[in-house]
Amino acid sequence: MLTIKDIQPGFRIGLLNMDQFSQLYNTIPEKDRHRAGAQQVLSALMGREAALVHDAYGKPWVEGSPFHLSVSHSHGWLVVALNEKEPVGVDIELMRDKVVRVQHKFLSGSELEEADGDVERLVTFWAAKEAMYKYYGLKALDFCNHLHVQLTPQFTGEIEKGVYKKRLLLGKEKIKQHILVYTLGEY
């Protein structure tokens, strides 16, 4: 039901199967189940009870802790990323054809070329941009103009808005029919 992965020293991800979790907590409304699931994953990652709270921009953080946190859920999965050293962003997305219809809304011209209409690549671009958006944490980013992703030769992303500029290494995992993407830090 819960898988914990050490990605790098000080950076862990917890992946919760929400279908299994929901069977145990089926009396709780769905929205509250996601919150309870995230709380359970966070506590498992930290090895103790920890309070999950949100800042004014909606970005989650651990009350009373300097750790950085990101949360995502999609069609049966919930992911919590916890980084002791730097900001983090995570996103999990179900691979589905819907992304083909909206690709022009979130990809630049060069990204459209690199994706070449392939659903897995398109979902990877979307998840990468969502993870970078969460890393940034201040909202007001345009996915076409402020967030740029390269799948090859190295999976990287760039956030550029005004004077703010970050170049990030990205990680990707395929979990059944889902794509999981997370930020790995600056390069």
Contact 77, 18 (CB under 8 A): yes
Contact 37, 18 (CB under 8 A): yes
**What six digits make up the tokens of 74?**
């999609």
31, pLDDT greater than 90: no
- Helix, strand, or coil (residue 111): helix
pLDDT in tens, 77-109: 999 999 999 999 999 999 999 999 999 999 999
Q: Domains in the chain, ordered, with CATH?
A: 2-91 (3.90.470.20), 92-186 (3.90.470)
pTM (2 d.p.): 0.95
Bond preceding residue 153 cis, omega within 30 of 0: yes
Handedness of CA 126, 187, 63, 42 (dihedral sign): positive
pLDDT of residue 16: 98
HSE of 12 in the Cβ direction (CA atoms, 13 Å)?
Answer: 16
Tell me the chain's radius of gyration from C-alpha atoms.
16
pLDDT of residue 26: 87
Average pLDDT, the chain: 95
Residue 4, classified by CB atoms within 10 Å of its CB into exposed (0-12), middle (13-18) or buried (19+), is: middle
pLDDT of residue 30: 79
**What six digits make up the tokens of 10?**
């000080």
Q: How confident is the model at residue 135 (pLDDT cuts 50, 70, 90)?
A: very high
Q: Which of 133, 4, 17 is nearest to 75 (CA)?
A: 17
pLDDT of residue 57: 85
**In sequence order, what DSSP letters do the residues of 35-56 get, joined into one string?**
HHHHHHHHHHHHTS---EEE-T
Q: How confident is the model at residue 41 (pLDDT cuts 50, 70, 90)?
A: very high
pLDDT of residue 63: 86
- Percentage of the chain modeled with pLDDT above 70: 100
